[in-house]
């Protein structure tokens, strides 16, 4: 688990460096090239820089060992960081949208053609980064790394929208300058949607939503595979950072001794952790099996 968190941190660090470079390049190109869509894109990239810092910090905090104050560890820092990233996206969307609406009614120069080359490079870099970070998020099962990946995809989409707007403004000539600002407005809407998509799973993890059915099925099957387990009466699982905590009620022979029941519970716990290595803890409740009539 520690190595998994380190991998996530390395991914966040790489994203931080790329986002900082792209934000500076887009801001300079947008200001020099009279493109508010590119400036809006730069603002979104600056939000990416802060989000990468938050991802980094959230992963580092979640890696801390449990202590007396936090006996279950600091894993909740991971979805909490993802929620902050989602809120950053929502804030960026509102800010960009308001400014884009103002620019639409304000006469200004046509964007410079060189801004298109900048945007093509940005789209390629951000899409590649999105795919790489998404693979890491899938491997780790990390909500915050997944949020970081979608932040990169958001940047790629807004850059593509800016490319379309600037192209229309250049081809249309006088009177079409506002196409660049409409593109920024579209970009704001896209950022808003992505922000909500990032925020929802983060809040769900903070509220201890059950994992997907596949994880639940693997845990239940592992418990049932143990000899002397008659029935799994109840199974609750919650995500805690990159780990899972299991609360399971297992029924066995009512004549079994307390010692044997204790041994059986240990075997159940071992089977669960073997089937799902990301299970950090399992609380096994041993109960007497009772035949049900009918």
Q: What is the pLDDT of residues 18-48, one digit of tens each?
A: 878 888 888 888 888 877 667 777 776 777 7
Find the mean pLDDT for residues 67-74.
Answer: 84
Whether domain 213-288 has CATH 2.60.120.10: the reply is no
- Note the pLDDT tens digit of each residue in 90-114: 887 888 788 778 777 776 667 778 8
- Note the pLDDT tens digit of each residue in 5-19: 667 777 777 777 887
pLDDT of residue 43: 73
Task: Please give the model's pTM, rounded to 2 decimal places.
Answer: 0.70
Domain residues of the chain, as ranges? Answer: 2-206, 213-288
Q: What is 2-206's CATH number?
A: 1.20.1510.10
Instruction: Say yes or no: do domains 2-206 and 213-288 share a fold.
Output: no
CA diameter of the chain? 89
Mean pLDDT of the chain: 83
């Amino acid at each position: 688990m520690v190595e998994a968190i380190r991998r996530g941190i390395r991914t966040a660090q790489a994203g931080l460096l790329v986002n900082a470079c792209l934000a500076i390049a887009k801001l300079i190109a947008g200001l020099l090239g009279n493109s508010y869509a590119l400036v809006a894109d730069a603002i979104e990239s600056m939000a990416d820089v802060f989000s990468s810092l938050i991802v980094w910090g959230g992963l580092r905090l979640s890696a801390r060992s449990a202590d007396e104050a936090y006996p279950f560890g600091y894993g909740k820092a991971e979805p909490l960081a993802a929620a902050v990233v989602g809120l950053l996206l929502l804030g960026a969307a509102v800010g960009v949208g308001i400014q884009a609406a103002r620019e639409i009614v304000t006469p200004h120069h046509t964007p410079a053609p060189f801004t298109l080359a900048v945007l093509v490079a940005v789209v390629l870099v951000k899409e590649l980064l999105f795919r790489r970070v998404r693979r890491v998020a899938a491997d780790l099962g990390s909500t915050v790394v997944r949020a970081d990946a979608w932040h990169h995809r958001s940047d790629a989409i807004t850059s593509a929208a800016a490319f379309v707007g600037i192209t229309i403004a250049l081809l249309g000539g006088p009177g079409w300058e506002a196409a660049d600002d409409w593109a920024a407005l579209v970009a704001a809407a896209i950022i808003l949607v992505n922000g909500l998509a990032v925020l929802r799973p983060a809040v769900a993890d903070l509220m201890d939503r059950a994992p997907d059915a596949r994880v639940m099925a693997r845990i239940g099957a592992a418990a049932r595979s143990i000899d002397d387990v008659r029935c799994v009466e109840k199974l609750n699982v919650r995500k805690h950072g990159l780990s899972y905590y299991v609360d399971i009620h297992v029924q066995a022979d009512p004549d079994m001794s307390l010692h044997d029941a204790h041994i059986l519970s240990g075997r159940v716990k071992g089977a669960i952790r073997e089937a799902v290595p990301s299970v950090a803890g399992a609380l096994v409740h041993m109960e007497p099996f009772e035949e049900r009539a009918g």
